[in-house]
Amino acid sequence: MAQTMSIVMLLSLIAFAPLAFSQKTGSLSPKFYDRSCPKAVEIVKSVVANAVAKETRMAASLLRLHFHDCFVKGCDASILLDSTGTLISEKRSNPNRNSARGFEVIEQIKSALEKECPQTVSCADIMALAARDSTVLTGGPSWEVPLGRRDARDASLSGSNNNIPAPNNTFQTILTKFKLKGLNVVDLVALSGSHTIGNSRCTSFRQRLYNQSGNGQPDYALDQSYAAQLKPRCPRSGGDQNLFVLDFVTPLKFDNNYFKNLLASKGLLNSDQVLVTKSEASLELVKKYANDNKAFFEQFAKSMIRMGNITPLTGSKGEIRKICRKMNK
Ligand code: HEM
Ligand SMILES: *[C@@H]1O[C@H](CO)[C@@H](O)[C@H](O)[C@H]1NC(C)=O
Ligand SMILES: *[C@@H]1O[C@H](CO)[C@@H](O)[C@H](O)[C@H]1NC(C)=O
């Protein structure tokens, strides 16, 4: 009897081993909608293409949205939910308030998909696809997006405030926040390359221009002639929301100029510049990507897949929302 039991147990262990393995390495698959909504990937791409044709910056905004979603409870579309009587929206957090954008484009994609195949494609997957499409449309690398995420029925304002790195966090704090999500220094440097496109508000880097360490001195790791160009539209006070390009050389093109800027002390955010001033490992990676666009593109694609795999809701967890800004009834 005991012997039969152990044989059964052994057999079931073998039978379930591949399942356990696939769950551990991520249960998402690029083919997830191949049968249930074969046009899903194409529909997302066409709406994103229209939005980016209207406004190039939208590519950057959609790429960032996926990041700000994934770092809070995983890639579960929690960032898209509006506040209700019982839920406080992540849209109010420090990193998102007056800053996160692209919500209408996600909603437009969702409504196109609801017409094609109702309640099939998650809002979390829409953001992952839109991030890839945005990268490609601005000249960056492509990758197959693993799919099958489901949408959260809750959000976390504190998670959004605490888990998403701030531009004035130290290098160590930023790296720790990445490590808490299972990402490493290679992912940190490659994904920071997203700042090759898009904008920042004055308020996100003002400290560097006037009072970096609380002693009334600027950040001398910032090229002072570049700083002088930034100051007129980013004064000591006022102009908080004024916009500046993150990569002043090729602001609309996804390329490795961001890394070249860092080596010239012309990274806009403190969190950009610390990649060359605070860690030897990180500096070496910046040099590598500045010299080798292909290496940057290859790693960026890999790291985006890794970021997109952060604790997705799968199986019977969560739901497929009908409208991305609201939970289903
Ligand atoms: C490493 C830590 C990071 C920090 C501290 C950081 C911080 C910031 C800040 C402060 C802005 C400007 C926001 C504003 O002023 O409104 C910004 C913009 C942006 N970030 Fe990051 N970021 C980081 C990593 C990432 C990652 C991993 C991605 C994507 C994978 C990303 C994508 C972007 C994009 C595309 C923009 C421009 C958005 C737009 O123009 O709408 N960032 N980031
Ligand atoms: C970082 O910026 C925030 C918001 O402007 C500010 O409250 C905080 O004091 C800054 N932290 C450091 C270490 O400078
Ligand atoms: C710089 O910041 C420190 C601490 O945040 C503050 O006490 C000081 O007054 C500021 N100095 C200037 C010149 O703004």
Residue 166 CA to ligand 2 center (angstroms) comes to 9
Q: Which domain holds residue 149?
A: 39-198+246-309
Give dist(CA 9, CA 65) in Å, integer: 45
Q: Give the confidence band of 200 by pLDDT, cuts at 50, 70, 90.
A: very high
Which tens digit of pLDDT belongs to each residue from 47-61? 999 999 999 999 999
CA dist 309 and 316 (Å) reads 17
Residues with CB under 6 A from ligand 2: 166, 168
Q: Is 221 exposed, middle or buried (0-12, 13-18, 19+ CB in 10 A)?
A: middle
Residue 208 in any domain: the answer is no
Predicted model pTM: 0.93
Which ligand has the nearest atom to the CA of 218? 3
- Mark the binding-site residues, compressed into ranges: 69, 72, 74, 76, 78, 90, 165, 195-196, 247, 250, 255
Question: How far is residue 326 from each of residues 79, 103, 111, 200, 322, measured CA to CA in Å?
Answer: 11, 12, 13, 28, 8
Atom 27 in ligand 1: which residue has the minimum CA distance?
191
**Average pLDDT, whole number, for the chain?**
93
Ligand number, closest to the Cα atom of 206: 2
Q: pLDDT tens, 139-175?
A: 999 999 999 999 999 999 999 999 999 999 999 999 9
Regarding the beta carbon of 168 and ligand 3, being less than 6 Å apart is answered no
Q: Kindly indicate the confidence band of residue 13, based on its pLDDT and cuts at 50, 70 and 90.
A: very low
The whole-angstrom distance between residue 315's C-alpha and the CA centroid of its chain comes to 23
Mean pLDDT of 78-103: 98
Cα–Cα distance, 37 to 81 (Å, whole number):
24
Higher pLDDT, 16 or 33: 33
Burial class (CB in 10 A: 0-12, 13-18, 19+), 145: buried
Cα dihedral across residues 33, 35, 40, 45: positive or negative: positive
Residues 264-289: pLDDT tens digits?
999 999 999 999 999 999 999 999 99
- What is the tally of structural domains in the chain? 1
Average pLDDT over residues 210-234: 97
Query: Is 17 within a domain?
Result: no
The whole-number average pLDDT for the span 124-144 is 99
Nearest protein Cα to ligand 1, atom 35: 60
Asked whether residue 216 is domain-assigned, the answer is no
How far does residue 208's CA lie from ligand 3's centre (Å)?
12
In a domain? residue 328: no
H or E stretch covering 199 = strand 199-201
| Domain membership flag for residue 251 | yes
Q: For the domain that residue 277 is a member of, what is the CATH number?
A: 1.10.520.10
What is the 189 CA–ligand 2 centroid distance (Å)?
A: 22
Is 135 part of any domain? yes
Tell me, yes or no, if 68 is annotated catalytic. Answer: yes
